[in-house]
Structure 1
Amino acid sequence: MKQVLITGATSGIGEALALHYANQDYAVIACGRNQARLEELSQRQTHIQTLAFDITLAEQVAEAAAQVDALDIVILNAGDCEYIDDAGSFDGALFKRVITVNLLAMGDLLEHFIKKLRTGGQLVIVSSSVTYLPLPRAEAYGASKAGVDYLAKTLAFDLAPEQIDVTLVQPGFIKTPLTDKNDFSMPFLLTAEQAAERIFKGVQKRRKILDFPKRFTYLLRLLSWLPFSWWCWLLTRKKS
């Protein structure tokens, strides 16, 4: 039975992925900070084991990795989103929190879990389609995910000699506890279960970049071709 480790498995996409992989007869190691939520998840599917740790604490990451044997797939999905509502009074603490969770924590996770991958294994890094365009209030979230994109694409080159494939996942809006807090329109919203199914199929095909839903990501790409000055004008005009 193939083994897959998933971070951020206590809710949203991570939880849906854990259940989807378990239902496909994978042995799943579901990771998160909330031990109670992890136990609830493991009771829903016998193929799910749990591992509780905080990805932002290097010692806990190392201790967790020491409990894991060889893996076929590592899915680094854990993340957070906070918005900067007043750029003129820039919230440096908020910025640091988001960058730490979404980007800096990747360093410790990669250090300890890449070496657990078998030859021919797969590393999956979940980012966001927000990186196609600069968006209002997304200074922290967008910057962190742009860094994640670059990291994943570089790893795809450098892990190829190790026979490890890397998939960068760039989803659009997915209904999760994080997006439930959004106070703006979210076009082409998908459920976490729909996202998990698309990720599962894309990883099976060993896709390098997996973005969805296509209606949304194609629209973002089209808008990204506009001169930046036009994009700024559109957004500032909408505010005024």
Structure 2
Amino acid sequence: MHLTPHIRSAFTPTGKLRASINLGNPILANKDASGAPCGVSVDLARALAKELDAELELVVFDAAGKSVEAVAAEQADFGFFAIDPVRGEQIAFTDAYVLIEGFYLVKNDSPLRSNDEVDVAGHRVVVGKGSAYDLYLTRTLQNATILRAPTSPAVVDFFLKEGAEVAAGVKQQLEHDAAQLGGLRLLNERFMVIRQAMGTPKSRGPEAAAFLSAFVEKMKANGFVAGALQRHGIIGASVAPGREAA
């Protein structure tokens, strides 16, 4: 899509392009040795800034909910989120650029062996507050109780502290925590596929939303997203299919 002055100004009302970066999902963003944000979403943010010929400002958060709120409140001009209808009320999403699996984790001595055993009265499922898992499981769990940890990386510690029955989150984060802490295991299969997309406030208008969508499709098609996943050593996430393939 052709860049116009109107589109550029829609993305940069403060004169800078402000990217909302969520460090709560290590597949998308983390910190390098110097403490600076890095990762797939940071690479895409820099690429978008180059596309818009704008100065980039990273607005960093430790949880998905905070990152979403910043864009919805227009304290940032765009961000990186799991597609969800609740978030979509205020944010215009692109198609997904990365697919991530959500899994359940339990203690080794738990009687739970499969996902269909989770949604039972008396079971407590720990999620990161405001995360894609929180939003999804809030809609889908009928009997289990949801407990909310402050952030997604804090889920397993919160799960152990509370003595809960189940933790839910990004497969890779749960696997890492299980390996570090011991005595934990993942259940047999994913309970959801998270479609990670870019998004901008709906108030920025349809042209800005269309430009962002076209940008994501280009970054998938030209290998940029795949290269970023490889460069940052991300295992377990896959590039989402292009719009036509989907």
Length-normalised TM-score, structure 1: 0.30
Higher strand share: 2
Higher relative contact order (CA 8 A, sep 6+): 2
Higher helix share: 1
Length-normalised TM-score, structure 2: 0.30
